[in-house]
A and B are shown apart, each in its own frame.
Chain A
């Protein structure tokens, strides 16, 4: 076997240098914002990714395997569930702020920007349920993306509570709710119309749902929605969005913010404000996150939480298509030597390295290697 299975890839030096550079900037941004880095294991019990009500992820999309004892294990499909477990079981004082950069594994159909093993860089803020924590999360995401050099991006904010509050009004069965959710996810307005007529949903309730797919755009959307969705739970959800927006405005980030009241997340644990980041001319979100106030209950603590994950590979694609890759690499120097002056050559190399250069000892009779490697400078020991 000389080839790789679908959905995984080798990173060769230039590409990996580019990736590590991005990861370092992200790590630094998170750290400086007060989010300490942690690293959960690559695999753990499958049950840890499940709740009493089922698994958050499509079970067929998780890499599962048995250990020798017969326990069912899983490669992590995301890190958030692991951070939730750590925060509930290993800590007693809150709030907590964690960050991570880790590879996750999902058995999706591989396509551009959608690998089966990919790197997520994210933060989690656990133990606080306040508009400030949502605003803080979004602001860290904006800073992080700006720092790695992404331009022209939009943070698209939705509200999981809002759709739930409308569903409550409709009294559909669980299956019908799932169908409607799927149609809303596609913004499939025509099919939503057929669905509502088919289920004899008319009058006010029809109006509540039918325009939902097109309720997206700038802050005016929230304002307009308040005139249509006048019942209490919906108003509460909309007012919350406005308060978060006001904070972000004071942080100078309002130009990045758009709203989509018809947004539905595919991972099931989100409960309140949710968001995604889109880049012009890249077809898919490079960052997703939101509030998941019920997740920690599974690990024994009833704590609110919010967070996001940036897809590192997709960010690489975005940077590549926007400004082209610039790989920062230290100056590289070859130190040519022969048997007589190898001691001196080694001393030179050590000195160059301590100054932050790449320094390689190259045997005089191996000059072909020195030529091929394209050093910035070639020096000779003992001259």
Chain B
């Protein structure tokens, strides 16, 4: 019986992390909760890291691809911003608000706001689904312009009147002469789980969830 338990425990688990600061923070958190060994140093240019100590695989992917890997079961777990989850609406369990990676989704525009009487406001954004839903709820008809980066530029060069984007400190906005008009929601990193993995590898996944949860409750995850 014990042997069986151990075999179950050693189910290999794959974790998808978003390249960049969230991944660094996630590695730190996983190591400090005793979920994985300290492997932060290994993440130089590798996209795939195997931690012998814990039998965990880490894959580093584009932030907006994390939910895709998890939904399809290519990764069992993932760490991902709420903003990305709301934009993509993928079918997976969103079990825990990890509390770090805090930022806000806002509507922003030029400091000296000019009234304009165009019937359709133009909104530039990397998050077309979020922007669309936000304006739909407000009952406003807008034209959504999907961009892939440097969204702050759009109002400056007349591509759009406003932008819908993520802000952390607001420095980038300020540097470009923009200001926040409205806040849509605040976001933070979430732990997401594939629906089948949750059931077929439940022992290990539950253990990881509980460890992260108690770390969060004891304030260990605050930045």
Contact = CB atoms under 8 A, between A and B. Distances in A.
A10 B209 CA distance: 42
Interface residues of A, number: 26
A142 to B, nearest CB: 15
A190 B190 contact: yes
28 contacts: A112-B72, A154-B200, A156-B199, A186-B92, A187-B193, A188-B93, A188-B95, A190-B94, A190-B95, A191-B97, A213-B95, A214-B209, A216-B198, A216-B199, A216-B202, A217-B203, A258-B202, A260-B199, A278-B196, A280-B200, A280-B201, A281-B73, A281-B196, A283-B70, A283-B71, A283-B196, A283-B197, A284-B73
A370 interface: no
Contacts of B193: 187
Nearest to B196: A278
Interface of A: 111-112, 152-154, 156, 186-191, 213-214, 216-217, 258, 260, 278-285
Contact of A214 (B91, B195, B203, B206): B206
A52 B194 CA distance: 36
Interface of B: 70-74, 91-97, 190, 193-203, 206, 209, 213
Contacts, number: 70
Nearest to B11: A280
B69 to A, nearest CB: 10
Given A214-B209, A216-B202, A282-B73, A187 B93 contact: yes
Contacts of A216: 198-199, 202
A283 B195 contact: yes
Given A187-B93, A189-B96, A284-B91, 7 more contacts: A112-B72, A189-B95, A213-B95, A214-B206, A217-B202, A258-B202, A260-B199
A281 B72 CA distance: 9
A278 B97 contact: no
Nearest to B194: A283
Contact of B94 (A191, A214, A285): A191
